[in-house]
Amino acid sequence: MRIVLIAITAICLCVAWNCASDPPLPSETDTLKLITEGVWFRMGERENGHCNNVVIDVGEGLLVVDANFPSGAQALMEDIKQVTTKPVSYVFDTHHHGDHAYANAVWTRAGATTLAHVGVAEEMKRYEPARWQQTAQNREDVAAVGEDTVQPPQKTFSQVPHVLEGASRRVEFHHFGWAHTRGDGMVYLPDEKILCTGDAIVNGPFNYTGDGNTGNWPDVVGKALELGFETILPGHGSSGGREVAEGQRQFMQEINTAVEKAFEDKTPLEDLVTLEDGAGVATTVELSDEVGNWVGNRFAEQVRVRFAELAEGKPHGEILGGP
């Protein structure tokens, strides 16, 4: 009996020691915020050029929305370790821009599978390796990847919604058309009513229209609004509700309406936009206070881009990047 008691005591001490040495993981970190059980949102460090990220527990592993720049990916990897021991199984590129896709190789080397709408891979073929190589000259994290160009997504899809049925939740991947880029993808969690939008919907003055289709942008957001989401996790800016998408759509609609009227009235571009090195730096166009959240230092260039689309009769991304 004494031997049995000693053995039981030893087991209890061992269990107690293990519990003391392995406290439960926190539900979130200072930078990785819990949105709902198994879904986290991380706002990227804008001073480092990082995009936002979303981490979704799909049961057997994790899905990360957007690869980010390499330094952003590494920061996210460290955060993930603080909240879960599950591996990152998938990384979804919402589009081809460097702050959303240039860490693809970082993730695949860690064992994840990258995926995206086929339009993302097609955009990479249009613009790479030139953009990668130019960026690598200015960003040490991109140069340190040791590749000559961005690694394209390992898996692509064209039929939408593309569905991932995880052990713990359903994930839908959507493509509503050309807005920010030809390949814009969004991630929708129907049970949680959460929409991850990349840069097709942002919360603040972060809209880059250079590769875009400004004329079609409001329609893309309108299609996204048909989903029953309640929470938006954008590619840039803070999280929010449906008002973020509604504001983004109204912002683009107001730009389009103002510039289209000026174009129809044969107003010269120089009366609308002050140019420096071909880019807009100031504009006479004014929008309503309702969309002030989206008006920033890119606004004059956004006006110029829409004017160029009307003058050329095609999306600016086609003007810039070819057919």
Domain coordinates of the chain in residue numbers?
20-241
Average pLDDT over residues 94-103: 98
Phi, psi of 34 (to 5 degrees): -80, 120
**Percent residues over pLDDT 90 in the chain:** 91
Inform me whether the pLDDT recorded for 9 exceeds 80. no
What is the average per-residue pLDDT within 282-299?
Answer: 98
Closest CA to 119 of 92, 155, 158: 158
Which residues, 6 or more positions from 289, have their beta carbon under 8 angstroms from its beta carbon? none
| DSSP label of 20 | H
pLDDT in tens, 300-322: 999 999 999 999 999 999 997 65
Phi/psi of residue 196, each to 5°?
-105, 120
CB 156 within 8 A of CB 121: yes
Q: What pLDDT score does 21 carry?
A: 58
How many residues belong to the chain? Answer: 323
Output helix, strand, coil percentages for the chain, rounded to the nearest 5: 40, 20, 40
User: Side-chain half-sphere of 45: how many Cα atoms within 13 Å?
Assistant: 12
Beta strand segments in the chain, E: 32-36, 39-42, 53-57, 62-65, 88-92, 113-117, 155-157, 162-165, 170-174, 186-189, 194-198, 231-234, 273-276, 279-283
> Which residue type occupies 109?
R
What's the mean pLDDT in 139-153? 98
When pLDDT is averaged across residues 259-273 and rounded to a whole number, the result is 97
Rounded Cα distance, 111 and 88, in Å? 7
Average pLDDT over residues 49-67: 98
| 15 pLDDT more than 90 | no
Please tell me the predicted confidence (pLDDT) of residue 23.
80
Mean pLDDT of the chain: 93
Rg (CA), the chain: 23
* 152 within 8 A of 22, measured Cβ to Cβ: no
pTM score, whole prediction:
0.92
DSSP H/E element including 219:
helix 217-225
pLDDT at 273: 98
Q: Which strands make up the sheet holding 231-234, listed edge to edge? A: 162-165, 170-174, 186-189, 194-198, 231-234
pLDDT of residue 322: 53
Residues 253-279 as b or e (16 or more Cβ within 10 Å = b): bbbbebbeebbeeeeebeebbeeeeee
What's the rounded mean pLDDT across residues 48-57?
A: 98
- Assess whether pLDDT exceeds 90 at residue 61: yes
Residue among 229, 313, 320 at smallest CA distance from 263: 313
Q: Specify the CATH architecture of the domain 20-241.
A: 4-Layer Sandwich (3.60)
pLDDT in tens, 224-260: 999 999 999 999 999 999 999 999 999 999 999 999 9
- CA–CA separation, 201 vs 180, rounded Å? 9
Residue 294 scores a pLDDT above 60? yes
